[in-house]
Structure 1
Amino acid sequence: MRVVSLVPSLTEAVAVTLPGALAGATDWCCRPEDLDVARVGGTKNPALDRIVALAPDLVIANEEENRAPDLDALRAAGLHVLVTEVRSVPQACTELDRVLTACGARGRPRWLDEAEEAWTALPEPAERRTAVVPVWRRPWMVLGRDTFAGDLLARLGVDHVYAAHPERYPRVPLEELRAKAPDLVVLPDEPYRFTAGDGPEAFPGLPCALVSGRHLTWYGPSLARAPRVLAGALGAAGR
Structure 2
Amino acid sequence: MRIVSLVPSLTEAVAATLPEALVGVTDWCTHPAGLAATRVGGSKYPDLDRVLALRPDVVLVNVEENRESDAEALRAAGVELYVTYPRTVDEALDELGRMLTALGAPAEPGWLAAARAAWAALPTPTTSRRAVVPVWRRPWIVLGGNTFAGDVLRRLGLVNVYADAAERYPRPSLDELRAQDAELIVLPDEPYAFTRDDGPEAFPGTPCALVSGRHLTWYGPSLADAPTLLSAQLTTT
TM-score (norm 1): 0.98
2:204 counterpart of 1:204: yes
3-state SS in 2 of match to 1:204:
coil
Q: Find the aligned partners of 2:167 and 2:120 in 1 and give their Cα distance.
A: 28
2:19 counterpart of 1:29: no
Q: Find the aligned partners of 1:42 and 1:97 in 2 and give their Cα distance.
A: 25
For structure 2, list consecutive stretches of 5 or more residues without a partner in the other structure.
Answer: none
Q: Find the aligned partners of 1:232 and 1:186 in 2 and give their Cα distance.
A: 13
**1:57 offset after TM fit, Å?**
0.5
**1:126 offset after TM fit, Å?**
2.8
Q: Find the aligned partners of 1:35 and 1:102 in 2 and give their Cα distance.
A: 22
The aligned counterpart of 2:150 is 150
Amino acid corresponding to residue 117 of structure 1 in structure 2: A
Q: Determine if contact 1:133/1:185 at 8 Å carries over to the other structure.
A: yes
The aligned counterpart of 1:129 is 129
Q: Find the aligned partners of 2:173 and 2:128 in 1 and give their Cα distance.
A: 25
The aligned counterpart of 2:188 is 188
The aligned counterpart of 1:17 is 17
3-state SS in 2 of match to 1:64:
coil
Amino acid corresponding to residue 132 of structure 1 in structure 2: V
9-18 or 122-131: bigger deviation: 122-131
The alignment yields a C-alpha RMSD, in angstroms, of 0.7
The aligned counterpart of 2:177 is 177
3-state SS in 2 of match to 1:190:
coil
Q: Find the aligned partners of 2:13 and 2:216 in 1 and give their Cα distance.
A: 16
Where do 1:212-223 residues align within 5 Å?
A: 212-223=212-223
The aligned counterpart of 2:54 is 54
Q: Find the aligned partners of 1:158 and 1:117 in 2 and give their Cα distance.
A: 21
121-130 or 139-148: bigger deviation: 121-130
The aligned counterpart of 1:107 is 107
Amino acid corresponding to residue 5 of structure 2 in structure 1: S
The aligned counterpart of 1:141 is 141
Where do 1:64-75 residues align within 5 Å?
A: 64-75=64-75
Where do 1:61-100 residues align within 5 Å?
A: 61-100=61-100
Q: Determine if contact 1:60/1:99 at 8 Å carries over to the other structure.
A: no
Amino acid corresponding to residue 121 of structure 1 in structure 2: A
Q: Find the aligned partners of 1:230 and 1:101 in 2 and give their Cα distance.
A: 29
Q: Find the aligned partners of 1:21 and 1:66 in 2 and give their Cα distance.
A: 21
For structure 1, list consecutive stretches of 5 or more residues without a partner in the other structure.
Answer: none
**1:137 offset after TM fit, Å?**
0.1
**1:121 offset after TM fit, Å?**
1.0
